[in-house]
Amino acid sequence: MDYEEEIDPYNITSLMTISQYRVHQGRFPTEATEELDTHMEEISEELAEDSATGRKYQVYSDKQKVVFYYFNRIKLWKAVASGRNAQVEARTARKKPSQPQEEHKHHLIQFFDEHPQATRRDSVESLTRQFENFSLKETSAGNSIFYECNLTVKRTTLHHVARNNAENIEKRYVWAKKWAESSDMNYLKSCVSVDEAGFNINMRSPNARSVKGTPTIVETPATRAIAHTILGAITTQDKPVVKPSRKGNVTEDYARFISKILDEMDKFPEMRNFYIVMDNAPIHTSDNITGLIEKKEDIELYTPSPNSTI
């Protein structure tokens, strides 16, 4: 895209240069003098005339800032009186920069606990609504969130709404209590955990690096990828079986995998009376799978209710 080099592509305003700094350095006295006092009074009268003619601005001018500083810091006047001479609103003159206190920090922690994907602007708006006459810049809010509230940005883990509702939490508790009290199940000593994971060539890590200010782009094939599934069974002591499967995974594949697990477990006497633990995926709750395991009298199957969300 063509553009004119003479035009500044960035919206930048120069606040201070070293030349300007050196010119003003040391020019403002630390004590009031008769000459300076007279000069400040003249500027104050000029500002009062501008205010009387209705020429008010949202941003205070350098003259107003100088006059306010002089009367407030040099002559040690009260903030309201200094503001009156500089034509600064009394509320603004008295105002101190807001600093997050403990109650504000607790509010931020609770706010992000309830809304983990909220932005800094959202947190500032929440603080403003919750605490009267409190304001905070987004930059200050970001520093407080990171350094004082110890809240960092992480990769999001998505959970279904039903997973963490009170009803399903109670169901999980009842199931765990039932098996803990009515059996000798021990996840660390007498269980074989079974699960599967799917992969394809289009999968990419959600994190990547690029030069600051440029987007991170990772190219992937346009064609639909063949899915590969890895079935695995593991205990705290051993990894009995790992079986790769192409083109997805169906009940027959899973049945053959379970059969292979049972054959492997038969080779080890210490695995008698072990439990096979799996989640409630549809292929896990098939009657064929249940029947296959029940044929082994010394092995039990544990799977949550098909209607529960774990």
Mean predicted confidence (pLDDT) in 118-125: 88
The answer to whether the beta carbons of residues 190 and 238 sit under 8 Å apart is no
Share of the chain above pLDDT 70, in %: 73
Q: CA-CA distances (angstroms) from residue 96 to 50, 84, 91, 93, 209?
A: 26, 17, 10, 8, 41
**What pLDDT does 242 receive?**
61
**What pLDDT does 228 receive?**
77
**What pLDDT does 309 receive?**
43
Q: Which of 47-56, 118-127, 152-161, 258-267 has the lowest mean pLDDT?
A: 47-56
Q: Report the sign of the C-alpha dihedral through residues 113, 114, 116, 119, in that order.
A: negative
The Cα–Cα gap between 310 and 307 comes to 10
138 pLDDT more than 60: yes
Q: pLDDT tens, 167-186? A: 888 988 888 888 778 878 88
The Cα–Cα gap between 308 and 150 comes to 35
307 pLDDT more than 50: no
User: For residue 159, what are its two tokens?
Assistant: 């959970």
**SS3 state of residue 84:** helix
